[in-house]
Amino acid sequence: MIEQPAPKEDGAGGENEGESQRRGDQTIGRVTARLAKPGEEKEARDGRGHAAIGQPAGDAPIDRAMQGVYADRRDTMFGALVLADIDRFKPVNDKHGHPIGDRILQIVSSILKAAMSSNVQAARTGGEEFGIIVTGMSEKSVVELAEEIRIAVEQTPFVNANTGTDYGPITLSFGVCMASEAKGPDDLYRKADRALYASKNAGRNKVSAHSQMQDGTFTKSWKLYSGD
């Protein structure tokens, strides 16, 4: 079996830029500590009723959180959507088979689950893409959080303990957009998606923020859980 890292604890949000930065630093510190410890993946639903990250589902809490970011002025100011996509997943899946591909998705999901807290929610959007909704953090803290997750995945060994087969390296590309930069959930998804593809185009295994880019057009839906 391929080994995987450990789960998460709760955190908190903030009300102003200084507080959001402090909260962000605390969240990042907790995530760093959790990601450094190997452990077992949690059961399909955690204590707050979140669906398992590895299985896309419809009408889940993270969808409501996506809308809720725009229902509260503080969440809009210090809220963000982060999109993450496994780099070159299809060749790995095709070469080693779907069971190995599914196992890789589970391990990446467990790493994202370790980052979840009261102000960080994550979900698999479908395929090899994941969405993370963050509240109460500045853009700097959100980018740092994404970078911590990126490094954790990059440093995780994807090795079959029985055969010694190495399925790695497995990496993630990220796109970050603050809610304040978008007109609503649909626009937020589009802009985070554009930042994600900027990371892909820049060589993958990177974190890109929409604030550093000019506007463009994408057509993906903002619904983070879909059956597709």
Helix or strand run (H / E) with residue 121: strand 120-126
Query: What contacts 7, CB < 8 A, 6 or more positions away?
Result: 34, 39, 41, 42, 46, 110, 113, 114
Amino acid found at 219: T
Catalytic residue among 17, 41, 128, 148: 128
Strand partners, 134: 80, 120
- Is residue 9 part of the annotated active site? The answer reads no
Cα 172 to Cα 13, 151, 223: the distances in Å are: 26, 9, 21
Pick from 88, 102, 91: nearest CA to 170: 88
Active-site residue numbers? 128
